[in-house]
Amino acid sequence: MKLILLGAPGAGKGTQAEIICNKLNIPTISTGNILREAIKNKTERGVMAKSFMDAGKLVPDEVVVGIVSERLTADDCKNGFILDGMPRTVAQAKALDDMGVQIDMVISIEVDDSAIERRMSGRRVCEACGSSYHIEHKQPKAEGVCDSCGGKLVLRADDAPETVRDRLRVYHEQTEPLVEFYNAKGILKAIAGDDGIDATTRRVFEALGV
Interacting residues with ligand AMP (CB under 6 A):
9, 31-32, 35, 52-53, 56-59, 64, 85-86, 88, 92, 158, 167
The nearer residue to ligand AMP, 34 or 188, going by C-beta atoms, is 34
The nearer residue to ligand AMP, 58 or 204, going by C-beta atoms, is 58
Q: Among this protein's residues, is 156 annotated catalytic?
A: yes
User: Measured from the CB of residue 50, what is the shortest distance to ligand AMP in angstroms?
Assistant: 9
User: Measured from the CB of residue 171, what is the shortest distance to ligand AMP in angstroms?
Assistant: 9
Residue tagged active-site, from 45, 119, 124, 156: 156
Q: Among this protein's residues, is 124 annotated catalytic?
A: no
Q: Among this protein's residues, is 123 annotated catalytic?
A: yes
User: Measured from the CB of residue 92, what is the shortest distance to ligand AMP in angstroms?
Assistant: 6
User: Measured from the CB of residue 209, what is the shortest distance to ligand AMP in angstroms?
Assistant: 26
- Measured at the CA of 205, the angle between CA 202 and CA 210, to 5 degrees, comes to 130
Rounded-to-integer distance, Cα 116 and Cα 206, Å: 23
How far does CA 129 lie from the centroid of its chain? Answer: 14
Residue tagged active-site, from 13, 45, 119, 203: 13
Q: Among this protein's residues, is 169 annotated catalytic?
A: no
The nearer residue to ligand AMP, 26 or 158, going by C-beta atoms, is 158
Closest Cα partner for 113 from 8, 195, 6, 191?
A: 8
Closest Cα partner for 38 from 10, 58, 67?
A: 67
The nearer residue to ligand AMP, 9 or 12, going by C-beta atoms, is 9
Residue tagged active-site, from 2, 36, 119, 123: 123
Residue tagged active-site, from 36, 45, 88, 119: 88
Q: Among this protein's residues, is 36 annotated catalytic?
A: no
User: Measured from the CB of residue 86, what is the shortest distance to ligand AMP in angstroms?
Assistant: 4
**Contacts with 31 (C-beta within 8 Å, 6 or more apart), sequence order:** 59, 64, 67, 68, 84, 85, 86, 88
H helix runs in the chain, sequence order: 13-24, 31-40, 44-54, 61-71, 90-98, 113-120, 161-170, 177-184, 197-208
The nearer residue to ligand AMP, 26 or 163, going by C-beta atoms, is 163
How far does CA 36 lie from the centroid of its chain? Answer: 12
| 12, 193 contact by CB (below 8 A) | yes
- Catalytic residue numbers read 13, 88, 123, 156, 167
